[in-house]
Amino acid sequence: MSLVLVGVWLAALGTGDLGRAGADVVGLRRRLVCLAMAAVVLLVGLLVVRPDGAWGPVVGVLLLGDVAVWLGASGVALDPTRTARARAAARWLAFGSLLGGMVVAALAVQTVDHLVTWPDWTSRTLAARWPAQDLVVAGGAVLVQLATGNILVRLLLDAVGVPATSNEKQLKGGRVLGPMERVFIIGLGGVGQLTAAAIVVAAKGLLRFPELQRAQLRPQDIAPSPGGPSDVTEYFLIGSFASWLLALGGVALVHLA
């Protein structure tokens, strides 16, 4: 049983979030554009995968609905103008939409009763070197590591009380470094080099250590700043571990495909 449908949904989710990359809060028009981008990817994927019988439209509506809920709920959860209660409720709704989408996509793989292959005209191209189904899953796993991964990590940091908005100014580059790191880990893990990925993870900790030390000190002297050190350290540790878990989940998905 292939996980190609999971790959299609992740690709749609990741593509939709790319439309709001770098922006915590977007307006309704941009959110609709993001949803339209996700819908196009999902529609193309379903046309290629062709779930059996009447399940195709049902699966498509459910998966697109999950993407729509994710876009709306995560946007509210990251909006600083909302009340704490509204943001907390939206945050859990966003987490639930991701879980629901994964469950629907995982269960719906049973409706795909044929092997997804490349068209004949691609037989002499580089793409033909890899099975089409595996490449779809790998592509979805990579796409979701970009903007979606950043948003998910930020929501988790907010949930545990270490908001990224007040800490990332001291540890710059996280929005760019995180996706690069996750994609790098997936690439190494996909070819069976998890040891090399572990070295990269260890190197990041060593490189960040001087910044963590500086963040724990007041600007005017070397006295520890009350309340500040734990925030920045927890921001780095929780954010990094969450990011690594996302990447390892992608690696597992690639190998299960």
pLDDT tens, position by position, 8-21: 999 999 999 999 88
Distance from C-alpha of 190 to C-alpha of 135, rounded to nearest angstrom: 11
Query: What is the per-residue pLDDT for 17?
Result: 93
Confidence of residue 26 (pLDDT cuts 50, 70, 90): confident
237: Cβ–Cβ under 8 A, 6 or more apart, which residues?
none
216 pLDDT band, cuts 50/70/90, is low
| pLDDT of res. 172 | 53
The pairs formed by 111-117 with CB atoms below 8 angstroms and a separation of 24 or more are 111/5, 111/51, 111/52, 111/53, 111/55, 111/56, 111/59, 112/2, 112/4, 112/5, 112/49, 112/50, 112/51, 112/52, 113/52, 114/50, 115/2, 116/2, 116/4, 116/48, 116/49
Residue 130 has pLDDT above 90, yes or no: no
Higher per-residue confidence, 80 vs 123: 80
pLDDT at residue 95 in the model: 95
Among 44-48, 86-90, 140-144, 201-205, name the one with the lowest average pLDDT.
Answer: 201-205
